[in-house]
Each structure stands twice: as structure tokens, then as C-alpha cells.
A and B are shown apart, each in its own frame.
Chain A
Amino acid sequence: MKSRVLVITSGKGGVGKTTTTANLGTALAMMGKKVVLIDTDIGLRNLDVVMGLENRIVFDIVDALNGHCKLKQALIKDKRFDGLYLLPAAQTKEKTAITPHQMKNLTGQLRDDFDFIIVDCPAGIEQGFRNAIAGADDAVVVATPEVSSVRDADRIIGLLEASGLENCRLIVNRLRSKMVKRGDMMDIGDIIDILSIELLGVVPEDESIVVSTNRGEPAVLEKSSTAGGAYRRIARRIMGEEVPMYSGDEPENIVDKFKKILKLAK
């Protein structure tokens, strides 16, 4: 299989780029793929804590690019999967510590050893963004169903297309189906219609993401996690499988069912 470089981006901060990177990377590794995750958010690194690998960092991406260590020395092996690695961002440098040209070389080098190279892009449209997209074949734009996030996603899609990255797909994150049902949140159709971009997947709002981030264990590892399940389906879609989209209906739990019965009885 030819290796793919995927950049996970959004424009706006806090919409779930790092969570998406960690979960898609882990899900692809669960499927037996060789995966490396690159954190390009220099100065604000977080992918290491989401993956639960923060204690293992010795060298980082800037060390590797500036020749302070070999690239292999900076790659941190995941605790759970043999084929999964993390290249952490530097915490004490700035975005300008690396260049788009260096990033292109770096991802090019990693293509020899990995099936998927997933680049976690920082928020914003400045150098950090230009670094992150430099070597990418495909882009995944993450947006939440809010005006500010969709607006920023539109800007990012424009910039991606302008830089020649035309293979962009969208993940709508943190969808709350109850709010959509009562007309207080834009639905998938609204967002796709406005952005005119291909939909890669939908991830529901799910408390289990907070729990899994607390633990440093990506949600895809948790069978019962709804968001984790959504990410596992997206990973299969990335592999080219046809997987039905998340319908927006959360499976009812016992408490909800009980509440419904009470309401009917009233």
C-alpha cells in the first residue's frame, strides 16, 4: 500500500484536532497499519498527553530537524500498538523553528517506514499551518456545528485549495443530536451545503472523550464509547471501506427510556 500523509486541521482552536489525530491514528494502528503521528503545534504540544506518552519524550521534532538527534531517536513508540509512533512537538521553541521545506522532507522520509503519517496542525493560518500542510497528500478539516468554527473551516478550505491541496474532507465533531432535533444546532446537511466539501465522518458529543483524555487513552480503545466508535468508522472509511454515516441517534440508555415512560404517563 502506498503511504499517505494526512493533515488534520481546522483554523479555529479547540474543535478537536488533537483528539481526532490521536483517535484516527490509534484506530488505524488497531487495524494493523504502521502509523506515525506528528505534533506540529510547537510551543503548545498536547498530542503527547492525549496519547498518554508525555513521560517518554527525550527528543522532539525540532531536535530531529536540526540534527540534534536522529529521526528514529525522536520517534516515541506507543505503549499499546507496535506499529504506532509519535513525533512530539518542541515545547520551548516557536513555530518558526521549522520550515515548510523541512516538513516536506520529513514526511517524505517517513513514507518509507509508515502506511499513514498523520500531522496534527496547530490552530491559526500562520507559519504553523503552512508547516503542517507542506508535505500532505490529503487534508481532514475538523469543524463543530457552530458559526465561528464553520466560518474558520471555510477559510481553511480556501487556503488548502490555494496551496494545491484539493483532496479535503470534513469531520463534523461534537454534534449534539438532541439540539439538532429541536432546531438549535445546524445539522450535517446545513454544514455540507455551506462548505460544499465531502463529508468524511460525524463524531457525536461524548463525555467519554474527557475521560479518555484524563487517562491518556484514546477513546477508540473503549468499546462502549460512542465517539470512539465514530472514529473507528472514520478510520475504516479512510481505508476505503464503505461505512454508513452516524445517523445522529444515540443509543438509548436505561435512564432515558425510564424518563420517556414517565413523560408518557404524565
Chain B
Amino acid sequence: MALLDILSRFFSKDSTSSKDIARERLRFVLVHDRASVSPEFINSLKEDLIKVIKEYMDIDEEGLIVELENEENSIALVANIPVTGFRRAANG
């Protein structure tokens, strides 16, 4: 490492190396790319969610919304699932 590099790194406010920035930006962009590449991905996730939740409560399958939301520094899986009724607790 050249002396100048060390000095500039030492005095610079931004201590994150550019490779870390590259890696994080890539991780983020790929989550989106991979999810948007296959619409089947969200659909099959939806179907599996319905299967699991139906064991516990009645839901409006038509009104169910599942999507990936892009916030500032993170990606969230947001699911809006209208509940139409509860099963009687079998083991309660």
C-alpha cells in the first residue's frame, strides 16, 4: 500500500472500503433482480403461505397481497392477509 493511500485512508471520514460498499450494493440489487426475474417466485410463496395460515385461521385468499418492498437500506417482505375467521383452538 502506498504511503499516500494509508494517509488518505487515515484522514478520510469515510472509513468503509469501497469493496464493502460494492458488496453491499450488489447484495441489495440482486435480491431485487432475483425476485423480479421470476414472478413464479412470489406466486409460489403466496401459495405456501396460504397453506400454512389456513391451518390456523380462515383467510380471504383473493384479498391476499404479498410483495417485496424496497426501503432505504433494506428489503422487506410485506404480506397483507385479510382474516375472515378463526378456527376453534383444538389444543387450547
Contact = CB atoms under 8 A, between A and B. Distances in A.
- A, B co-complexed: yes
A187 B25 contact: no
Contacts of B17: 182-184
A180 B3 contact: no
Interface string A169-202: 0000000000011111111001000100000000
B18 A158 contact: no
Given A147-B26, A150-B26, A194-B26, A183 B19 contact: yes
A244 B74 CA distance: 38
A183 B20 contact: yes
Interface string A132-171: 0000000000000011001100110010000000000000
A151 B29 CA distance: 8
B1 A151 contact: no
B34 A158 contact: yes
B22 A186 contact: yes
Contact of A184 (B18, B26, B30): B18
A150 B29 CA distance: 11
Given A158-B34, A186-B19, A194 B1 contact: no
A180 B26 CA distance: 17
Most buried by B among A181, A186, A263: A186
A181 B19 contact: no
7 contacts: A150-B26, A155-B33, A181-B1, A183-B18, A183-B19, A184-B17, A186-B19
Interface of A: 146-147, 150-151, 154-155, 158, 180-187, 190, 194, 263
A-B pairs, top 7 by smallest CB distance, nearest first, are A183-B17, A184-B18, A186-B19, A147-B22, A182-B1, A190-B23, A183-B19
Interface of B: 1, 3, 5, 17-20, 22-23, 25-27, 29-30, 33-34, 37
